[in-house]
Structure 1
């Protein structure tokens, strides 16, 4: 099993939806910042948002186990070993890049 690199690309705020449904003063996600990098295999990285992990773990697991094909029907991501995903927060989604690496998971990581 290999490590998967998770890079936080964007923290967003859907302002129209936040005005209608969010609490006053809602801002982008306070848990993640653009440019942060995490590494994962089967387990959620330390200090990584639980809800974001629930939304992306299946892609991380697939990449960690060697998926090389372009996702789905070649109509999503053009680069093998990469997925662009987001958390499931509809008001302030965080967009992440997942990349397959050659970094081996070590037994103490498991």
Structure 2
């Protein structure tokens, strides 16, 4: 299993929808910042948004397990192998992310319980 690089490309706010449905003063996501970089494998990276992770973990899993060999969805979506562009599921203020397969091996960190 390999690590996957996650780069925050863009944080957005759909102002019309936010005005109609969001709380007063709603702004773009404050948790993720453009150009932030995270590395993931089997688990959500520390400091990464829980909701964003739910939206992209299946792509991370696929890339971590070798989907970098071909193009996603039969080549009719992303032109570069080992790359995908995804967004979180916040309909008012989505965050757009680039996922890239890496050659870095993932390491499962075990914790021990003292008895």
Report if TM-score (shorter chain) is over 0.5: yes
Deviation at 1:69, TM superposition (A): 1.3
User: TM-score, length-normalised on structure 1?
Assistant: 0.96
| Match of residue 15 from structure 1 | 15
| Match of residue 102 from structure 1 | 103
Structure 1 segments of 4 or more deviating over 3 A?
A: none
| Match of residue 72 from structure 2 | 71
How many aligned positions are there? 110
Separation in 2 of the partners of 1:109 and 1:34?
31
| Match of residue 47 from structure 2 | 47
Separation in 2 of the partners of 1:84 and 1:99?
9
Separation in 2 of the partners of 1:106 and 1:10?
29
Separation in 1 of the partners of 2:21 and 2:52?
20
Deviation at 1:107, TM superposition (A): 3.6
Q: Deviations over 1:24-73 (max 9, x none)?
A: 10000011000000000010000100000000000000000011210102
| Match of residue 29 from structure 1 | 29
CA RMSD after TM alignment:
1.3
Separation in 2 of the partners of 1:106 and 1:23?
41
From the CA coordinates, give the structure whose radius of gyration is larger. Answer: 2
Separation in 1 of the partners of 2:102 and 2:81?
12
Residue 73 of structure 1 aligns to a residue whose secondary structure is: helix
